[in-house]
Amino acid sequence: MAIPKSLRLEFVTPERAIAHEDVDEVELPGEQGFFAVLPGHAPLLAALKTGPIWYRKGNDKHFAFISGGFTEVTADRVSVLAQVAERAEDIDIARAEASKRRAEERLSKPTLADFDAERARIAMLRALTRLQVARHSRTRG
């Protein structure tokens, strides 16, 4: 069987479609670490964690934020089912900065009765990743 020339990327959340297009490469934040997918990849099911995702068409890289979900990979297709995802250009930097400040405040006052360290840590990770994705995409060449 010939190796496919591209991958069909189907990238969705419960609320909307992020991408439905043919791409050359995808990199995903798997629970066991980041992994790249090229045409002809072996079949794979993987859980996804909070992190950046990017996909490439020719020389153009597109970035997004993802938080949780699953991916199914075949030789010619990558299906990403994300709990939360945003394209880099859709990320509101001011909102992400505000989320980061709230998380920092919660983490700096661990004596509060309603303090949930894990929830604050996750909020901080999500805010930092959103900022990283948005800034990286906006400062590229």
| pLDDT over 80 at 139, yes or no | no
Give the pLDDT score at 141.
44
Alpha carbons within 13 A on the beta-carbon side of 73: 21
| Beta carbons of 19 and 77 less than 8 angstroms apart | no
Integer CA distances (angstroms), 125 to 33, 49, 53, 90, 137, in order? 16, 11, 15, 18, 18
Could you give the 3-state DSSP secondary structure of residue 134?
helix
Place of tokens 């983490």: 107
Question: Does 100 or 114 have the greater pLDDT score?
Answer: 100
Amino acid at 85: A
| pLDDT over 80 at 1, yes or no | no
Token pair listed for 51:
């992190």
Can you give the C-alpha Rg of the chain in angstroms? Answer: 17
| pLDDT confidence bin for 84, thresholds 50/70/90 | very high
Identify the architecture of domain 7-88 in CATH.
Answer: Sandwich (2.60)
Give the pLDDT score at 140.
57
Identify the architecture of domain 92-139 in CATH.
Answer: Up-down Bundle (1.20)
Beta-carbon contacts of residue 57 (< 8 Å; ≥ 6 apart): 21, 22, 23, 24
Determine the longest span between alpha carbons in the chain, in angstroms. Answer: 61
Mean pLDDT of all residues in 97-103: 89
Q: Give, in degrees to the nearest 5, the angle at Cα 26 between 78 and 95.
A: 105
Per domain, the residue ranges of the chain are 7-88, 92-139
| Beta carbons of 17 and 87 less than 8 angstroms apart | no
pTM: 0.82
Residue 141 CA to residue 129 CA, distance in Å, equals: 20
pLDDT digits (tens, 9 = 90+) for 50-75: 999 999 999 999 999 999 999 999 99
